[in-house]
Amino acid sequence: CQQLASEPLLAGVRLLLTAGPTREALDPVRYISNHSSGKMGYAIARAAREAGAEVTLVSGPVALATPPGVTRVDVESAEQMHQAVMSRVHECDLFIGCAAVADYRPARVAEQKIKKTGDNDQMVLTLVKNPDIIAAVGALPDKPYTVGFAAETVDVEQYALDKLARKRLDMIAANDVSRAGQGFNADDNALTVFWHGGQAPLPLADKLTLARHLIALIARHYRP
Among 27, 103, 157, 188, interactor with Ca ion by CB under 5 A: 103
* Residues whose CB is less than 8 angstroms from the CB of residue 148 and which lie 6 or more positions away in sequence, other chains included: 96, 97, 134, 163, 164, 167, 169, 171, 172, 173
Q: Output the smallest distance, CB 32 to ligand CTP, in A.
A: 13
How many alpha carbons fall within 13 Å on the CB side of residue 93? 14
Residue 189 annotated as catalytic: no
Letter string b/e over residues 51-76, b meaning 16 or more CB atoms within 10 A of that residue's CB:
bebbbbbbbbebebeebeebebbebb
DSSP 8-state symbol, 100: B
Q: Are 42 and 2 in contact (CB under 8 A)?
A: no
138 is in an annotated binding site: no
Contact of residue 84 among Ca ion, ligand CTP, none (CB under 5-8 Å per partner type): none
Indicate whether 76 belongs to the interface with Ca ion (CB under 5 A): no
Give the three-state DSSP class for 192. strand
Q: Output the smallest distance, CB 196 to Ca ion, in A.
A: 22
Contact of residue 156 among Ca ion, ligand CTP, none (CB under 5-8 Å per partner type): none
1 is in an annotated binding site: no
Indicate whether 132 belongs to the interface with Ca ion (CB under 5 A): no
Q: Output the smallest distance, CB 209 to Ca ion, in A.
A: 26
Active site residues: 34
Q: What residue numbers does the annotated binding site cover? A: 97-99, 103, 113, 131-134, 149, 163, 167
Binding-site ranges for Ca ion (CB under 5 A)? 103
